[in-house]
Chain A
Amino acid sequence: MKLKKERENISQINKEFQEEIRNGAERLFNYMSDFIENRLDKVGEKFQEIILCEKHCDRIKEKYIEVLFKDKRALPFLIEDRYKIITSLDNIMDMSEIIARYIQVFPFEFYEDIRDEMNQLNKLYLETVNQLLNCTLLMETSFSGAYEITFEVEKWKRQAFDLKFKILHIIFQKKDEPLRISLTWKIVTLIFDVISGAEEISDFLRGLIIKYPGK
């Protein structure tokens, strides 16, 4: 009875954590959209929401880890893997916060000629994070479903890779203020890094699925 309750508790906290990351990713997506469209008056409020979201994620993560390690009857390899998954997802949220902070520290007018590519990259960010979260949820009940998703994440990372260099190709040809070029380059790279980080996690999950029968 106690065991069932503990399991319910841990999956409840996990869902809560994932929901918060989803919220955080969506807020960063909206924040980025405003920034790309040069609606700079709106970014301040949204920035605070992202920071709060990240802090909330950290608190839920701590709670999850506490429950996870308190369960003495839990299988050690499952504790280890669940711990790795939750900490990697938390990293995604941390990286998202860095993007928000970067824009906040020096908001500038975004280049119009790379708006479409940047919006696409932003959309890829949101979709990749959402799919990664779906994948980690499926790890609990369906390895086959999670396995399929890992390939989608990989496909999106490749698309993001192309977009990143397309944008860089355009901005590096500009004979503009170096700071503006440099900041644009940094933001593009940071968004790509989050997508790339998500793909690394999905790679890890794929390896885990293959290895599991041997555990």
Chain B
Amino acid sequence: MEFTIIIIIFLIIAVVIAVGIGGNDETFSVIYGSKILTMKEVLLFAVILAFAGALLLGEGVAKTVGNSILASNIEVTQVIVMTVLISTAIWLILASALGLPISTTHATIGSIIGIGIFLWGITGLNWGMILYLAMWWILSPIVGFFGTYFAYKIMYKFKENRLNGFQDYEGYEKKFAIIILIAICITAFSRSGNDCSNAVGIVVGVGKVDVGFLLIITGLSLGCGLVVLGRVVIKNLGEMTELRPSTAFAAQLPTAAIMLIGTIQKIPLSGSHMLVASLVGLAKASRTPMKKGLWKIILVWILTFPVSAILSIIIYFPVKFFI
């Protein structure tokens, strides 16, 4: 196949992947849920930050997930990387269209496991690493749940003892609104830089394409995904329980802390899972009712592994045929 055509196909795939990732970006959901910004403002902020993050931080970020999940004697080829990315993108777009937040990390690892078992059998996978990751995936939402629960209780005591009158509460919540907005903006900026590698990695690997141009395309695609599909995910997650700037902060704090630990320990964790667990923790602590869609979200989480695994096996054949 002609080299230019391959580049164009890769570019299209990169765009699809970026749209999928942008569409399932729930970073701003607490900002929307606590009514700090309206949906239009949220999308404006999210798109600008996604674009800026992709452009300024995207270069040089590389994914090494595949190497640790597959057995050490297996070589990760471009066909495998592409298969994994396309199947992840399809599942992300499907979930985003349904307005359900899923984990990009889980979808990616599910695809790797699927293709790994299909091509090399059970011995093709590094089971020790998978079990280690599984332990973290179970532990992190539990920590998110209890972290938020106790953060809320501490805040409750503070408010009860220190705040006196509507104006005090107004000032208190306004301070938290600024703090959480800054924190979320930084998260969105760095997250898009990181997510960018999922999309452009394959094209960069082919070479001969200007990286700056690629990052602009990815940034725009992340933005498109956010505007077209992301708004539903942001709305659904933001409205899962009643949020105020201070309680949104209580929910976001454990998520950010565990994500930081995960990054330092090089463990791919799911921000979406932890955020949902934190929101459930918040609802329990504040005794506010949860939105009914929780079970649907959990079901889609459980389905993420088998679906992305099956998708990767199906997609493997056309990808192999073209490359």
B contact residues around A144 at 8 Å (CB): 164
By size class, the interface of chain A is: 20 to 34
Provide the bound-state CA to CA distance between A77 and B35, in Å: 10
Q: Mark A171-215, 1 if CB is under 8 A from B, else 0.
A: 000000000000000000000000000000000000000001111
The answer to whether B164 touches A75 (Cβ under 8 A) is: no
- The secondary structure that dominates the B interface is helix
Provide the bound-state CA to CA distance between A47 and B103, in Å: 69
Q: Are A75 and B173 CB-contacts (below 8 A) given A140-B166, A141-B164? A: yes
Provide the bound-state CA to CA distance between A166 and B166, in Å: 40
Smallest CB separation, B170 vs chain A (Å): 6
Q: Does chain A have a CB within 8 A of B75?
A: no
Provide the bound-state CA to CA distance between A76 and B247, in Å: 14
Provide the bound-state CA to CA distance between A74 and B38, in Å: 12
- The secondary structure that dominates the A interface is helix
Smallest CB separation, B174 vs chain A (Å): 8
Q: Are A75 and B156 CB-contacts (below 8 A) given A140-B165, A140-B166? A: no
The answer to whether B169 touches A212 (Cβ under 8 A) is: yes
Provide the bound-state CA to CA distance between A82 and B166, in Å: 9
Q: Mark B151-185, 1 if CB is under 8 A from A, else 0.
A: 00000110110011111111001000000000000
B contact residues around A214 at 8 Å (CB): 156, 286-287
A contact residues around B173 at 8 Å (CB): 75
Provide the bound-state CA to CA distance between A78 and B157, in Å: 20
Neighbour of B160 across the interface among A77, A140, A213, CB < 8 A: A213
Q: Are A141 and B156 CB-contacts (below 8 A) given A75-B244, A76-B35? A: no
B contact residues around A78 at 8 Å (CB): 166, 169-170
The answer to whether A143 touches B164 (Cβ under 8 A) is: yes
Q: Does chain B have a CB within 8 A of A138?
A: yes
Question: For window 28-83 of chain B, which residues contact chain A by CB distance below 8 Å?
Answer: 35, 38
The answer to whether B159 touches A75 (Cβ under 8 A) is: no
Provide the bound-state CA to CA distance between A213 and B285, in Å: 12
A contact residues around B38 at 8 Å (CB): 72
Q: Does chain B have a CB within 8 A of A19?
A: no
Q: Mark A79-90, 1 if CB is under 8 A from B, else 0.
A: 001100000000
Nearest opposing residue in chain B for A138, CB measure: B165
Q: Does chain B have a CB within 8 A of A68?
A: no
Provide the bound-state CA to CA distance between A213 and B244, in Å: 12
The answer to whether A75 touches B286 (Cβ under 8 A) is: no
Neighbour of B165 across the interface among A72, A82, A143, CB < 8 A: A143
Question: For window 113-168 of chain A, which residues contact chain B by CB distance below 8 Å?
Answer: 138-144, 146
B residues touching A (Cβ–Cβ < 8 Å)?
35, 38, 156-157, 159-160, 163-170, 173, 244-245, 286-287
- Would you mind naming 17 contact pairs between A and B with Cβ atoms under 8 Å apart? A75-B173, A75-B244, A75-B245, A78-B169, A139-B166, A140-B165, A140-B167, A141-B165, A141-B167, A142-B165, A143-B163, A146-B165, A212-B169, A213-B159, A213-B163, A214-B286, A215-B244
17 more A-B residue pairs beyond the given contacts A82-B166, A141-B164, with a C-beta to C-beta distance below 8 A: A72-B38, A78-B169, A81-B166, A139-B165, A140-B165, A140-B167, A141-B168, A142-B164, A143-B164, A144-B164, A212-B159, A212-B163, A213-B159, A213-B160, A214-B156, A214-B287, A215-B244
